[in-house]
């Protein structure tokens, strides 16, 4: 079956512009995560959605970052007034079971590479 | 506080040798771990997991060992192949914490 998909695969933008990154999780997965990965670094947790519960936004680095998950499926990560330090790969993952952090495998998408000039 | 860290940031091995990647953790509330493999340009992929009621689990060419006493786990890859070259992350599945990863390079 289809895995997690993300779009666009690459995004180049100018400093100060807003960007939207999209994630299509695996159908039926209740948990969805966003991570940021800078070059050569680990995964930085951003936000976590679990079913209809309020999302865990504890990882968002500033109020320029926000995310939505509509209808318990597709999620959009929005970065307003982008800065050069926002340049990174943004990874989305989904998991079949609910629960903070999940106790099951996270299925990752290929990521969106964001470059802010 | 909690941390999930890797002992070594890089590991280089000869093709055919065995590889051992280590991970230490400090949070005793979540003894469930997953090892992920991330190849260049791709998202991480599940390799193997281990729960707190186990101290060893084997997969195909991979073995994970969990030592709860010293809060340490390791990933052993037998007969390492060039296709094993990647970044390996240990993940405390009770949290969203990932370590920085260990980059494994397999020399032909």
Quote the percentage of chain A above a pLDDT of 90: 71
The answer, for A100 touching chain B at a CB cutoff of 8 Å, is yes
The answer, for B74 touching chain A at a CB cutoff of 8 Å, is no
The answer, for A34 touching chain B at a CB cutoff of 8 Å, is no
Q: Higher-confidence residue: B4 or B99?
A: B99
Q: Do A42 and B89 touch (CB under 8 A)?
A: yes
Shortest distance between the Cα of B48 and any Cα of chain A, in A, equals 9
- The DSSP string of chain B is ---EEES-SEEEEETTS-EEEEEEE--TT---EEEEEE-TTS--EEEEEE-TT-SEEE-SSEEEEEETTTTEEEEEESS--GGG-EEEEEEETTSS-B---EEEEEE-
Angstrom distance (rounded) from CA B5 to CA B21: 11
A85 vs A12, A62, A63, A82, B38, CA distance in Å? 13, 12, 15, 8, 23
Of A48, A104, A111, the CB nearest to B96: A48
Q: Do B93 and A101 touch (CB under 8 A)?
A: yes
> Quick one: closest CA in B to A91, which residue?
B43
Q: What is the pLDDT of residues B14-35, one digit of tens each?
A: 999 999 999 888 765 566 889 9
The answer, for B46 touching chain A at a CB cutoff of 8 Å, is yes
Tokens of B30: 């979540």
Shortest distance between the Cα of A33 and any Cα of chain B, in A, equals 9
**Range with lowest mean pLDDT among A3-12, A89-98, B78-87:** A89-98
Quote the percentage of chain B above a pLDDT of 70: 84
> Quick one: closest CA in A to B4, which residue?
A42
Q: What is the pLDDT of residues A57-71, one digit of tens each?
A: 999 999 999 999 988
How much is the pLDDT for B100?
Answer: 75
Please check whether residue A8 is in contact with residue A94, taking contact to mean a CB–CB distance below 8 angstroms.
Answer: no
pLDDT category of residue B4 using cuts at 50, 70 and 90: low
Shortest distance between the Cα of B59 and any Cα of chain A, in A, equals 15
Shortest distance between the Cα of B15 and any Cα of chain A, in A, equals 23
């Amino acid at each position: 079956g289809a895995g997690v998909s993300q779009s666009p695969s690459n995004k180049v933008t100018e400093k100060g512009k807003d960007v939207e990154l999209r994630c299509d999780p695996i159908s039926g997965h209740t948990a969805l995560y966003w991570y940021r990965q800078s070059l050569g670094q680990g995964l930085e947790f951003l936000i976590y959605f679990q079913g209809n519960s309020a999302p865990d936004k504890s990882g968002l680095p500033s109020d320029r970052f926000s995310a939505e998950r509509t209808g318990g499926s597709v999620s959009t990560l929005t970065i307003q007034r982008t800065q050069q330090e926002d340049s990174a790969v943004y990874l989305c993952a989904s998991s079949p079971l609910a629960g903070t952090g999940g106790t099951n495998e996270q299925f990752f998408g290929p990521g969106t590479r964001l470059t802010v000039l | 506080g909690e941390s999930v860290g890797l002992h070594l940031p890089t590991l280089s091995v000869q093709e055919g040798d065995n590889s051992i990647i280590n991970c230490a953790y400090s949070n005793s509330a979540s003894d469930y771990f997953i090892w992920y493999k991330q190849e260049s340009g791709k998202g991480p992929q599940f390799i193997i997991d281990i729960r707190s009621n186990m101290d060893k689990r084997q997969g195909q060419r991979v073995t994970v060992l969990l030592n709860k006493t010293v809060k340490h786990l390791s990933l052993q890859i037998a007969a390492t192949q060039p296709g094993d070259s990647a970044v390996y992350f240990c993940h405390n599945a009770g949290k969203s914490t990932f370590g920085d990863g260990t980059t494994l390079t397999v020399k032909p």
